[in-house]
Copies of this chain bind each other. A is one copy, B any other.
């Protein structure tokens, strides 16, 4: 009988808790949609500041702007964390032509981030199309030497997650130059990582590994329409040449900053939860989806907590990471300092997949913690948040990984992300206000639940 009564008590306690959680989530979503700040912040970041490549003046402006905005929120602390970042500049706009007998067809290209410039006067050579890194060995130096290698394997359209499709061909962009120069190539041109056929070239990071500077070859992305055209022309005339000019340059590393703000926990101040996105972006657009959206959503998480009158038990930090795109220096620095200080991070959430309608989260955590997350699933149903899966989280929070922390990434609808990713059309007008706000509310809700219930390991110790 006593046991029975205990059960009844537990059941009603659970139902009471449940109802409080429902109320808090409702308040969070309503506040975000009726009285959100994320869209106005993004407007400033995108339209007043613009593209924020690491080491640039704009990146420094974004640091100052977001710090000032966080200070207005009445957080317990706001500070900058210094970090040295790579400093690469595109310089004058790139130009490229397909030289096909008497035809000279201009095609849209852009330098990949980190590429060397073409030599003085530009590069012109025959161009050989391949479907991936693995094709090079078969062709060998005989067929590649002195030529430009054209990587043209497209993203696979029948993969539902566009991130997975991206993962299936980004090796061409990241490692294409390094691989091609082994066979004597004089340059590489990579099909843009996009599922759309259009005229925007998409930049992104690439690496020469430890190849000496003087041996490096220039690497460009070509728009998908340009790639289709080039491929068609090559089929008719394999001897045509490709001519391109790029003026990009690597400078010395520059001083920059992560921007951090926190609400100190009322009960467990030493247990830290972080939510973040990355403040740097590529330079072609204004970085609205990648990752202006994640930045303003993360700031909004703390603002929504204050606005709804929620006082977290644990310390909630927003971290705006510098240099995700071409170095990950901010993410590494944050984890390094956390380790030095012996800080205990229990949960980290990143938003770096665009400001589209949120669908859920991907989790990198123990089974026990994942089971707890699944028990919260029904709370999210009214908001059409349904995706709770194990998987990756976010690049910037990755360095915090240990065997206790729960890492998570927001997972918005991915269908349009690579239409804009790293290209000149990653701009403010491509972000929908409601979709952005729904993402911020969804993140806030998850952070609230982790703050309230902690992670599973901790519960066992305490319980």
Most B CB within 10 A of own CB, among A29, A30, A382, A386 = A386
* Residues of B with C-beta under 8 A to A384: 160, 359, 387
A432 engages B419 (CB within 8 Å) = yes
How many angstroms between the C-alpha atoms of A416 and B435 in the bound complex?
8
Picked from B30, B158, B433, the residue with its CB within 8 Å of the CB of A158 is: B30
Please provide the 3 A-B residue pairs with the shortest distance between their CB atoms, ordered closest to farther.
A30-B158, A386-B386, A33-B158
Chain B residues near A29 (CB-CB < 8 A): 158, 160
> Across the interface, do A415 and B386 meet the contact criterion of CB distance under 8 Å?
no
Task: Judge if A34 is at the interface, Cβ distance under 8 Å.
Answer: yes
Those of A322-370 within 8 Å (CB) of chain B? 357, 359
Of the candidates B30, B33, B160, B382, the one whose C-beta lies within 8 Å of that of A382 is B160
Q: Tell me if A65 is interfacial: C-beta within 8 Å of chain B.
A: no
A–B complex contacts, Cβ < 8 Å, 27 sampled: A29-B160, A30-B158, A33-B157, A33-B158, A34-B157, A34-B158, A157-B434, A160-B382, A160-B383, A160-B384, A160-B438, A195-B434, A196-B433, A357-B357, A357-B413, A357-B415, A359-B384, A384-B387, A386-B386, A413-B413, A415-B432, A415-B434, A415-B438, A416-B432, A416-B434, A416-B435, A419-B432
Which residues of A27-52 have CB atoms within 8 Å of chain B's CB atoms? Answer: 29-30, 33-34
Residues of the B chain whose Cβ atoms lie less than 8 Å from the Cβ of A33 = 157-158
Q: How far is the CA of A416 from the CA of B383 in the complex (A)?
A: 15
A427-454, CB < 8 A from B: 432-435, 438
Instruction: Give the residues in chain B near A438, CB-CB below 8 Å.
Output: 160, 415
- Within 8 Å CB of A160, what residues of B? 29, 382-384, 438
* Cα–Cα distance between A184 and B438 once the two chains are bound (Å): 43
Most chain B beta carbons < 10 A, residue from A413, A415, A419, A432: A415
Give A307 to B435 CA distance when docked, in angstroms.
Answer: 35
Q: How far is the CB of A203 from chain B (nearest CB, A)?
A: 22
C-alpha gap A33/B158 in the complex (Å): 5
B-chain residues with CB within 8 Å of residue A419 when the two chains form the complex: 432
